[in-house]
Every structure is written in C-alpha cells, then in structure tokens.
Structure 1
C-alpha cells in the first residue's frame, strides 16, 4: 500500500517530533542518577582470561558481566581495556554516550533483553575493535520508525537483531554501513518481504538467519548481492514457492516450516555448492528439483505431501529441465531422474508415498541414512547387486509393508534396520543373516514367527513348523532384537544360537510358550530380557545361566512362582509387578548380592509368609520404586496392608490366635472323647446287669 503526498509529509513531521522527543528523553534518563534516587547495582563480575589474580582495574584480557542488575546505564568505574561487556537483562532504554560508556577495546558487547528504543547515531564508531554486537530482545522497531541510522559498524562481524518487532524495510537502518558484517540474525521479527536492497549495505555476509518471521515474498535478486553467502535460514515463515533457486555459492539452506508447495532450481551447468537442504514440514507434492551439478549431502523432505519420488510438473514449471526428462505421462507431466551421487542422508518420512522404484536409488552410492518411515509403502525391494551398499541406517517403520526382499550382496553395510509397525507376515527366512554388519533390528508390531533350530528338540517337535518363519540364529553382529507384538506363540529351543544378543524384547505376545533351552547361546551376551505382558503362568528357564543378565522384566504375566535360579545370578533390576505371586522369599536369597532394583506391586503377597523377606528388604540397599503400592494380606478376608507397615507382632498375634484355637480344638475334642467314653461305660454296665438278671431267673 502506497502513501499519498500529504500523508508522507505528516508522517515525516511526526517522525521528526518522535526522534526529538526520544533524544531529549535519553538525555533526561542519562542524568537520572544525579537528580533522582536509584538502586545501586551489585558489583559487576570481572573475569580475567589469563590470570584470575590480575588487578580488576587493568582490564587486559578481561570479561565484565553486569547482567541482570537493574541498570539504566553502564557503570562508570568499569576497568579499562576490557574485551567483553555483558549488559543484558537490564532496563536500558536509550543508548547514548552518557548511558553507554565507550570502551574502544571491547570485542563483544551484549545488550540482550533490555528496553532499548533509541540508539544515538554513530555511537559505535569509536569501538574500532567491536566484533560481536547483540541487540536482540529489545524494542528497536520504535527506533526504526524514526528512519535514523545507527551509523557505521565498520568492524562488527556478528549482529543480532532478533526479537525486536522489526517490520519490512526497517532492517536497512541497521545494515546501511556494515561492510564487515559476516553473520546476521533477524529471527523472530515481523518481516513480510525481503526487498532486493535489504542487504546492499552489508555485502560481506556469510550467514543470514530469518527464522520465525512472516515472510511471504522474496524479491528477485534479494540475495544476489551476497557473493559470500554460505548459510541461509528461512525456516518458520510463510513462503509458498521456490521456482528459481540460483544461489550457487550457498552451502546450507533451511526452508523448513513454511508453506512450500514446490522447490525447483533454475537450469544451469554451474557447480552448486549446496550441501544441506532442509524442506521439512511444508506442503510439497512432488520431489524437489535440485541443482543438476550438486554436492548435496543432506536432504530432508519429511512431513510434506509427497505422493512419490519422481519430480513431476508441467513443461512450463520444469522449464529447461525437460531436456533431460526420462518420460512424460498422459497429462503432460515430466518424470526426471536426478543425480544424488554425494547424498549421505535422506529423510522422506511422514509423507503419503505408496511405492518407491528401485531405480530411484541408482545414483545414491554414498547414502548412509535413509528414513522412509510413516508412509503407505506396501513393498520394498532391493534386488540389484551392490545396491545401497553404503547404507548404514534404514528406517521403514510404520508403513504398510507386506512384501520385503533384500537381494544377495545388497545392503552389505547395514547396521540398523527399523521395520516396526508394518504388516510383515512372511519374508525370506535368512533375510537378516545375509547382512554382515547388522547390529540393531526392530521388528515389533508385525506378525512374524521364529524358525526352530536345525537340530529340533523335543520341544519344537510338539509344535507345527510355521511356514514363512524368520531365522535369528547365526547373525554374529546382531546385538539388539525387538520382537514385541508379533503374536508369537512359540519361542523354540536354540532360536538365537550363535547370535550374541545383548537386548531381547519378546513382550506383548500373549500365550507365548518359552522353550526350556530357548535362550541357549545367549549365556555370555544377554544383558536385557523383556518378557512383559505375555500371560506366562510358568517359566522353566534357568535365568542364572545367563551370566551377564542385568535387567529382567516379567511384569503383567500370570506367574504364581518364580523362575528357577540354580546359582547366584547377576540380575540388578527385576520387574515382577502385576503377577500372581504369593511369596518372594526365594528372590532375595538368589539375587541378594546383585539386585539393586525390584518392582513387585500388584501381587497377592502374603504378609507373614514373606515376613523374613520384608525384613531383609528393609535392611538391604535394594530400591523398590513402586513400594507405595506394594501390599500384602495377613488375615483372611482382611484389607491389604502396605508392606512397610507389616510388623512381626502382626504375625505373632496371628500365631498366638492360631495356637489358642488349636488348644481349644484339642480340649473340645478331649471333652467329646471323655463324654463318649463315659457313655460307652454306662452302656456296658447296663448290659452286664441285664445279663445277670436273666441268669438268676
């Protein structure tokens, strides 16, 4: 919107009055200490960089910290020759010679989090060694309205103006005479447009940060004057389209958190220096068109609206790139194969892709990290020999994978494979055995079955051999294996033979039957064993045979008795919560020397059967994190009691009551016996008398 002539005159007059008022106010505020009471600040902290016992007045190689001291002006007694002065978090409002003591040796000046509304023109001219100037989190938009320049910043290399409420066009009053400026931060302002003259006064800039503004438009050539620009941050703005990217000297470009629908580079045979491109959290529909001759190593296109990985668009949108297009479809859109021979990291997660052709990875000979998680991919095949052979991390989690195949001699460098949250039911049994560097394998939330060992035990003979099972034996590099939520029914004997796992997660497989020798081969490697929520009622495995086992989670099962420990165990953390255990006496005996943490809540514990155990627990160093909820029952039909309240007297009184009842029962029985004997004696006596009378007659 343009202003009329009369409006411009009124605006100029008002700005002049505002400037005059601000200057006068600055002089008044500068004289406040002599005319009105002011709280004296606590002494500034003076730190010597060379000798902590140096004189506080010499100032050589010293940093002075006056932050958060309620200052309106710089202290007058600062040491001479200081290199760094921190005046942040005070109440400066006007920067004039009277409020800011000029120290020509200062290299670093911080005025962050003040209330600065005015800067005297030429104030920093005398600071010929000033390299870093931080004016962030102030109110410099008020100063910019006056259309005054802060003057020459001849030696300043780093300037931070973020969080000042600056609008479009205001930055030129700070950058007009900044020929040495290398780093500029304009983060968290209110800029809507980057004009083509914004940076004409600071041609040496190497890094510009415009994060968190409201930028909608970038005028043609706005950054072209910055021949040395290497890093540009335009993240968290409102940019909708980049169709003519031509900053060949740029190395790092961040366009994340905008509203981008497309990113395309102008056709050029020039070598582009771009190494890092972040396009995450936008609305991009088609794969970006990167420079033909690029050095791109990091590309993030996550959280967009990608339907596929081919670059698509009309001939007009793609421009001269149609010369190298591979094909076009019926709607006149072109599919372009691009060169990613330098790419090391690619993130395509959280999009809407259903398929990825194998040819897409043909040029990615240096790719080490590939993330395609949280899409709709149903099939992933790597069949060509030497395909993706530098890949170390592959994340295919949370897709719709039903079909997955890794050909021979592919993915030979793979170390981490994420497959959780898919629909995998059958895959080639030896898929993971052919990866000679695989360390971490996440397969939870699928529907896989574990193959029995070749030498099937009597245990495995009692169960049907599942077709399409997966083998986890003979993977000598594998350390972490996650198999939770796979509907596993059987854990065969020797399932992990010659696979030195340190972590094994078999949780959330209700009805899982664990073979007697299921963990055979893990005796000298397994450290973490997770078996929670499996409805296990009995576990016959000798856990003490696992010599390095430190953490065991058996929570939320149906155990009424503990697994056996045939020798002293190394377990340090044991979770027995939410089972059907009545007594735990055996636990501390078997684990007393190693146990550090024990969970045992939500069990029907008996108070008196565990009395010795509770007493030992109180004297031991074992931590019970859920002790506030651990209860036991000491009388039939009585309310549960927290185990911390159980006393020996409770059980003694119960024993005394039992003894009394026993004595009463015995006395009662004796009384009944005496009465019975008396009755029998009387009957016998009567019979004798009857017989005698009959004889006499």
Structure 2
C-alpha cells in the first residue's frame, strides 16, 4: 500500500510539468491587460513582447505555478501610465501571489481599490510608481502579505498618506508582514505611536524602511520587540533626539540608516560595535557627535557613512580590522591627525571619502586596495609628495586630491594604458615642475584639474588633444600655454564642455571656433588685448553658458555681435569703453565692474535682468540716474552700482525688493533721503550708501531687515540720533562716520546688547554724552574670542543660491593714523572709532571686556580720568589712539604687555609719570606721547638711548615706516583679498554635496563655474 502511495506521488510530480503551460483563461486575461494598459512601446522590455505565439508562462515578467495559473507578475519599469484603475483583467488573476508595478508613472492616481480581489498576494510592490492620495482600506484585506512596498523617492514630498487607515490599522490587519517599505508615505506619527504600533503587531518584521514619513522621535524602546529586525531605515525624518543606546541590542541588525534626522548628542560607541552590522549611515546630522572606538578583529562593517556630522578625533589604526569595508565616507566632519597607514590594507575598499576634515601628514599607500574606484581626500592639510602608486591603482576611476598641501614634483610613470581613471583633480596644492607626461597617456581621462599649483614650463594646448576630455582646468599656475595656428575643420577638443585657462599668459584667443559642446570658458587673468572677437558668441551654435574674460586688457566688442543665452558673463577689470552693453535675457550673473564704461545706464536694463542674481557696474564712469526699470529685476540678490557718478535719488522700489541681499550705491553723487520702504522680512545683509550727498534720517523700516550685517552710510549729510533699533538685527558693521548725527548713545534697556557688532565707526559727528555709561560688557560681538583656526579666515559674505558664489563686503576704517580699506571683513577683526565727537566722562573699566578688539580710537573728544588698566586685557589690540583728550594719571604698566600693539598715540592729554618700559613700548616714538608735560622716560628722554650703541630713537609710525595704506595682517593672522572676489561660478547647481551625489553621482568636485 505504501509503495502504491509513493508511486502515485511520483507519477503526479512527473506528469504535472506536462500540464504547467499557461491556461487559456489566464492567457486571455494577460492579453486583455496588455491591451488595456497605457505604456510606451519604445521603452518597454516586457509587455511589448507579449503575443499569442508563445506560452504565456514564458513571457517576460510572468511566472506560473505547476497548474498554469499566473502567480507572479513583474511589470516594473514598463513606463505604464494608466489602465489598471478598474482593470477587470488584472484583478481577476486570483491566483496571483506577487505583483510588482514599481517605477512606472500612474500620474498621482490613487492605489486602485480592486487590489483587494488579489487575496493570495504575499508580495506587493507599488514603489516609485507615482501613486498618490490615501491608502485605501481595501489594502487591509490582503492578509497574506509578507512584503509591502509603497515607497516613493524619500527626498520628495509625500504623495501617499496613511491617515485613515493609519499605520496602526495597517499593521494590525497585515500581521504576516516581514518587510515593510513606506518611504515618503505621510504617516505623521509621534515616536511612541509608530514604535508601539509596529512592535505590538509585527513580531516577525525583518525590514523596516520609513524614510521621509514625517515621523518624529525619540525612537521608543518598545521597538526591541522586533527581535528579527535586520534593516532599519528612518532617514529624512525630524527625530530631533539622540541615537538610543538600546539599538545595539538588535542582535541581527545589518543595516541602520538615520541620515538627515536632526540627531543630537553623542553616538553610543556600542552602535559601532554591533557584531552583525554591515551598513551604517548617520550622514547629514551636523549636531551628532562621536568618535571611533577600537574596532575589533573581523568587523562586519561594509559601508560606513558619517559625512556632514560633528564626528571628531583620529582615525584609529584598528580601522584595518574592518576587512570587509568597501565604503568609508567621512567628509565634512572634524576628524584630525595623521591617516593611519593601515587604511591602505583595506582590500575590499571601493569608495574612500575623507574630504573637508583636518587630517595632516602624508597620504597612505593604497597599493593593496585593488578594488578602489573612488578616492577623495580633498580639503585637508595633507602634505608631502603624492605617491605615484595612486595613479596606477587598477580600478580607480576618480582621484580627488585638491585643497591640501602636497608639494614637490609628481613622479613620472609608464605603462598606464590600462588605467581606468576618468577624473583627476590635484588643484589648490603646491605641486611644481613640469606637468607629468603620463597625464597625457590616461586614455579614459575626462576631467583634469591642475588649478592653483606651481606647475611651470611651456605646454602646447594641442598636447591635450589626445585625451577625451570634457573638462580641463590649467588655471593659476606658472604655465605658458602656447597656441598653434590650425586650419583644421575638426574641433581641438571634440568633447570639451569646460575649459579654464586663467593666468596662462595667453596673448591671443585660442582657436575655439569649432567647439560644438563648450559651455564654460574661462580666459581670465591673461594678456588678451583689443576687441572681444564676435565668433566667441557663436561657439557651439550658442552652447556657451559661462564666459569669464575678467582681468585682461580688452577695450571693446568686435561688431556685429549678439550674446548667446549666457548664464554668467564676467568682464570686470578690463578697459572696456563706450556705452554699457545690454546683457542677455538669460543672465544670472553679470559683472561689468572696473572698466571705463560711460554715459548712463540703459533705461530698459532691468528687463534684461529678470533672471539675474548678481549685477555689478561698480567703478566705471557712468552718469545719470538709476533707471526705474531696475525694479523689474525681481530675483536680484546683489546690486552694485558703486563708484560711478550717478545722480538723482534712490528709487523707492529698491528697498522693497525682498530677495535683495546687497545694495551698494556708495561713492556716487546721489541725493535725497533713503526711502522708508524696506519690506517686512527683507533679506538685506549689506546696505552701502557711503560718500554721497544723502540727507535726512535712518528710515525706521530698516528694522524689517533682521539679517542686516553691514550698514555703511558714512560721509553723507544725515542728521539723526543713534540708531538703537538696529541692535535687534545681525549687524556686524556700523559706519556713520562724517555726518551730522547728534545726541548720546544711551539706548533703552531692551536695546543695549550688540550680539554681533564687530566694527563701529561713528567718528566725526556731533555725538555727546557720558562715555562712562556705555555698556561695553553687553557688546558680545567684541567679547567672544575665536579659537577655531579655520574660522579665523571666515569673513562677511553673501552666498548666492543659483550661482554658488559670494559677494564680499568692503569697509573703510581709520587705523594707525591712516584711512584704509578692508577688502575682506574677517569675523575676527573688531574695531571701535568714536573719534572727533564730544564725548565726556571717563573710559569705563568694562572696555577691557572686549577681548577680541583690534583697533580702538577715542581721540579728539573730551574724555577725562585715567586710562583704565583693563585695556591691558585686550591682548589682540593692534592700534590704540586716545590722543587729544583730557586724560590724567599714569600710563598703566599693563599696556606694556600688549605684544600685538603696533600703533600707539596718547599725545595731547594730561598724563604724568614714567612711561612704562617694555619691548613693545620701545618701538614707539616720542610723538606718541607728545603734549603730556608730566611724562618722562624713554622715548621722550633721549638719554635713555646709549651714545654709540647704534640704537637710535624710533620714528613716529605715521611719519616713517608705517606710512603704508594697508594693514599688516600678520597681527590678525589672515590675508585680505579683492573686494568682490568671485572667481568662477556655477549656475543652478545644488549647494549640498549630499544632494549633488543623489542627482549627479560621485562627481561632486565641480568647480565654481560649472
């Protein structure tokens, strides 16, 4: 009997395959479905091949059971846009167990209710298919579902909602779920709610993905009930909490992703030590801190992504214990120290990105990393020579070494014909010598950037013709690029899109007539003369989008000419003459500054700037009034018309422009008042109206600009009291110099705290009042000391959204007895100039609280009393002028300890006693103390200099060696740059590296003009 039973089973299993061909009713349903669906035949890879001639069980995307019933339908990526809403064909496939409609485009229609007919479904994938609206109740009837995917792209706004039913109702009905993907589904639930809902209903859940679901934190410990959880992805939610320590208790966790979650606090080290963890992504949480533990042997981590966090510390040698590590991304953190050589032992490494940190020392050898495809160590402080072995890595595609301190020559290599390298960026280093010849042998090279090094020698531009380059940047070296005359009908670089030859000693334009793809061309800082050739506007039949010809010797435009659809046009610092050229309608950035343009600004200029962020015609010879059409430029963020001969008034529409961040009209002949029309929540950061003939008062509506950082109305005819109301803004610089301001500086208690002010110049006015009552202890912008070395180089600037560039503020100060221009306002630089007023009373002791003060000028007032010893606390002080007052008493000995003090003027007071001795005080001349009859000692008493010693009394700084119209910025540890330093510019690229990678891939080192 048993034998007969097993024989029957054997016969059935043998016979069944013969009957497993598609049943007629199933085939009919599929053909009906195909004919009812709307899809693109040219892009379809499955539906387009369904026909009567084949067994439907063999159709692409179709799977049958042994009886010929359709059990799986995989129609993802078929460009389906409709036809399933009430499909009698699809929803009658009652045996269906798996349905995949992912990556189609259903035009934001609702998930069809007929789906409830498919009661046998175990796997339903509707992800990235452009469904929208509320998840229908009918989905709750699919009781057998093991895997449900309703995800959309998690960086987009949610289209699908889980409100009624909500998440709790969904999981209570679908208790068999092991995989749940709801990325970008609007759940809108608190931490306790969504955690309890899942943990109480889905004990066997293995994969949970809720990215971009509008859920909040903190993550509740009830989630620990999900003992089988292996994947937890909660990116793009505002959890606003710490990473809970209990996550380390998930013994099967392989993937933990919490990027863009507003995480705070410190990451528990146990998380990095989870034995099963393979993938960890905590990126883009700038308030999340942490450091690396000692990694144990045979670590399971494969990807570790911490970019844009506050992680810090060294990279431990034990990193080599992560033998399976393939992806390590630590960019934009605070890691420091030397890179351990053991990094080069990570044999599985494919992606290594430690850019934008503080790593020092030499770069490790990666000779064992045979799989490495992407290596980015840019923007660190790495030194030494670049190991030539890096260029020979067999799998390397992208090598980013820019913005470090690499030096020396790059050693030549041979036999690189098999190299896969496509991107090579060694810009902003100290590399020298000739450009290595092997660079020209990299057959796959598409991007080569040698910008800002010390490469030298002569190079024929045609040398690069052997490469299939799409981007070439040779700018800012000591190279002499030679051009050869060629009558070839072929383009010099067939694939070139970006060509940058700034500072390459060019004396004529290269022959680029036939470049069909060129969109960005930078020939700035060369020796180009004469007219701009009109063929340049026809490059690539108008494909040119960015053109930088600044800092040359060009004097005009060859006619006839017609601008193409340029985004950026930079012609600053040439010798262009005549009337101002109308920019193209497509312009985002236009700079005509520092030329010789004359006549008036064209009346219709504003209509051609409707898309512009930046427009500058400063430092020309323009006359006439500001045309009213400028108000038509609705997107302007920077308008700079300064240093011309413009007349008339300020158009009332300009303060109304909500997007305007910089309005610079200084150094003209404007008259009238400042219009009181600043809009509510205006974006203005810089208002520069200096050196005009403006009068009246500071408009009250200026308080509507909370982000105002620079206000410069010096050298006008304003007559007003001190603008206390501006203390509520972000003001860093306040210049009221040389006007008719009057009254005291005593503001109401609610207006006494300067949180950001770093430069104030109210000199040469009629201010008065008791100086001793000023609350210097509340001037926080001058109190806080800045110890961050990198931030010492930060300066006031306005960043543009569209062109990823910035406008740099400039301000004039009186320092060391001279009037000089700060062409870069460093955030660490602070100064006070109250000179030439009528202040009386004593200098308060609290002035010693201004720890970061560099310049203090209280001269030509009526101050009395002693010089407070607390000035000795101003350890950064470089210039002190208290001359022409009525100060009494002795010079505090504490002043002799001010080692940065390079200018001192205490003349014409009533000081007495011995001048303090000290190395710094010995550098000042007698003129620094002149007019104080009671003072004695060196340098007034010349006998203190020994006869025959060779030491002579120093000269007064303002008469001898310090007669320089600049500041020696060694005293503030930073360099000053050009006033409107913009360089090259990128248009319409997103600012965040993380987002660029999502949309553009790994090519995230795009230069500023791409």
| TM-score, normalising length: structure 1 | 0.54
Deviations 1:523-551 (A, max 9, x none): 48976594543265832799779998667
User: Could you say which residue in structure 1 is the equivalent of 2:841?
Assistant: 562
Distance 2:766 2:640 in 1: 32
User: Could you say which residue in structure 1 is the equivalent of 2:595?
Assistant: 351
1:667-678 equivalences in 2 (<5 Å): none
**Alignment counterpart, residue 538 of structure 1, candidates 764, 768, 775:** 768
1:56-67 equivalences in 2 (<5 Å): 61=326
Post-superposition shift, 1:431? 3.7
* Partner SS for 1:538: strand
Distance 2:432 2:776 in 1: 62
Query: Residues 264 and 401 from structure 1, CA distance in 2 versus in 1: closer, same or farther, beyond 3 angstroms?
Result: same
Distance 2:499 2:349 in 1: 33
Deviations 1:213-236 (A, max 9, x none): 212415556993655433221111
Distance 1:633 1:286 in 2: 56
Instruction: Say whether the 8 Å CA contact 2:449–2:472 is kept in structure 1.
Output: yes
Distance 1:606 1:518 in 2: 25
Post-superposition shift, 1:306? 1.2
User: Could you say which residue in structure 1 is the equivalent of 2:665?
Assistant: 419
* Partner SS for 1:363: helix
Query: Residues 191 and 380 from structure 1, CA distance in 2 versus in 1: closer, same or farther, beyond 3 angstroms?
Result: farther
User: Could you say which residue in structure 1 is the equivalent of 2:481?
Assistant: 215
Query: Residues 376 and 496 from structure 1, CA distance in 2 versus in 1: closer, same or farther, beyond 3 angstroms?
Result: farther
1:290-439 equivalences in 2 (<5 Å): 294-308=564-578, 340-355=584-599, 356-384=601-629, 386-406=631-651, 412-413=657-658, 414-424=660-670, 426-427=671-672, 429=673, 431=675, 433=677, 437=682, 439=684
Instruction: Say whether the 8 Å CA contact 1:497–1:522 is kept in structure 2.
Output: no
User: Could you say which residue in structure 2 is the equivalent of 1:276?
Assistant: 546
Deviations 1:498-555 (A, max 9, x none): 9976648454327x45147997999489765945432658327997799986679463
Query: Residues 368 and 289 from structure 1, CA distance in 2 versus in 1: closer, same or farther, beyond 3 angstroms?
Result: farther
Post-superposition shift, 1:179? 3.7
User: Could you say which residue in structure 1 is the equivalent of 2:523?
Assistant: 255
| Higher mean C-alpha deviation, range 575-584 or range 250-259 | 575-584
Matched pairs, number: 497
User: Could you say which residue in structure 2 is the equivalent of 1:157?
Assistant: 422
User: Could you say which residue in structure 1 is the equivalent of 2:260?
Assistant: none
Query: Residues 58 and 605 from structure 1, CA distance in 2 versus in 1: closer, same or farther, beyond 3 angstroms?
Result: same
User: Could you say which residue in structure 2 is the equivalent of 1:492?
Assistant: 720
Query: Residues 225 and 385 from structure 1, CA distance in 2 versus in 1: closer, same or farther, beyond 3 angstroms?
Result: closer
Distance 2:726 2:543 in 1: 47
Instruction: Say whether the 8 Å CA contact 1:89–1:114 is kept in structure 2.
Output: no
Instruction: Say whether the 8 Å CA contact 2:450–2:473 is kept in structure 1.
Output: yes
Distance 2:724 2:899 in 1: 32
Query: Residues 586 and 433 from structure 1, CA distance in 2 versus in 1: closer, same or farther, beyond 3 angstroms?
Result: farther
Distance 2:489 2:383 in 1: 28
Post-superposition shift, 1:607? 3.8
Post-superposition shift, 1:304? 0.9
Post-superposition shift, 1:152? 0.6
1:131-146 equivalences in 2 (<5 Å): 131-132=397-398
Within the alignment, does 1:285 sit opposite 2:559 as a pair? no
Instruction: Say whether the 8 Å CA contact 2:607–2:630 is kept in structure 1.
Output: no
User: Could you say which residue in structure 1 is the equivalent of 2:448?
Assistant: 184
* Partner SS for 2:458: coil
Query: Residues 441 and 517 from structure 1, CA distance in 2 versus in 1: closer, same or farther, beyond 3 angstroms?
Result: same
User: Could you say which residue in structure 2 is the equivalent of 1:654?
Assistant: none
User: Could you say which residue in structure 2 is the equivalent of 1:449?
Assistant: 695
Post-superposition shift, 1:476? 4.4
Post-superposition shift, 1:341? 2.4
Distance 1:364 1:232 in 2: 26
User: Could you say which residue in structure 1 is the equivalent of 2:742?
Assistant: 514
Post-superposition shift, 1:284? 1.9
Query: Residues 630 and 411 from structure 1, CA distance in 2 versus in 1: closer, same or farther, beyond 3 angstroms?
Result: closer
Distance 1:108 1:292 in 2: 42
User: Could you say which residue in structure 2 is the equivalent of 1:229?
Assistant: 496
Higher relative contact order (CA 8 A, sep 6+): 1
Post-superposition shift, 1:449? 2.2
Distance 2:567 2:519 in 1: 10
**Alignment counterpart, residue 863 of structure 2, candidates 573, 581, 587:** 581
Distance 2:505 2:489 in 1: 17
User: Could you say which residue in structure 1 is the equivalent of 2:505?
Assistant: 238
**Alignment counterpart, residue 461 of structure 2, candidates 187, 194, 199:** 194
Query: Residues 580 and 268 from structure 1, CA distance in 2 versus in 1: closer, same or farther, beyond 3 angstroms?
Result: closer
Deviations 1:72-93 (A, max 9, x none): xx99x9676666999x999xxx
Distance 1:494 1:57 in 2: 63
Query: Residues 219 and 58 from structure 1, CA distance in 2 versus in 1: closer, same or farther, beyond 3 angstroms?
Result: farther
| TM-score, normalising length: structure 2 | 0.39
Post-superposition shift, 1:392? 2.3
Query: Residues 600 and 260 from structure 1, CA distance in 2 versus in 1: closer, same or farther, beyond 3 angstroms?
Result: closer
Cα RMSD for the two superposed structures: 6.0
Distance 1:581 1:543 in 2: 12
Instruction: Say whether the 8 Å CA contact 1:253–1:276 is kept in structure 2.
Output: yes
Post-superposition shift, 1:370? 1.2
User: Could you say which residue in structure 2 is the equivalent of 1:472?
Assistant: 699
Query: Residues 411 and 359 from structure 1, CA distance in 2 versus in 1: closer, same or farther, beyond 3 angstroms?
Result: farther
Within the alignment, does 1:129 sit opposite 2:392 as a pair? no
Higher strand share: 2
Distance 2:575 2:907 in 1: 56
User: Could you say which residue in structure 2 is the equivalent of 1:319?
Assistant: none
Distance 1:536 1:235 in 2: 50
Instruction: Say whether the 8 Å CA contact 1:372–1:397 is kept in structure 2.
Output: yes
Post-superposition shift, 1:251? 3.4
Query: Residues 491 and 642 from structure 1, CA distance in 2 versus in 1: closer, same or farther, beyond 3 angstroms?
Result: farther
* Partner SS for 2:569: strand
Post-superposition shift, 1:388? 1.9
Query: Residues 505 and 126 from structure 1, CA distance in 2 versus in 1: closer, same or farther, beyond 3 angstroms?
Result: closer
Instruction: Say whether the 8 Å CA contact 1:493–1:519 is kept in structure 2.
Output: no
Unmatched tracts of structure 1, length 5 or more:
1-45, 64-68, 91-98, 312-336, 452-470, 589-595, 644-697
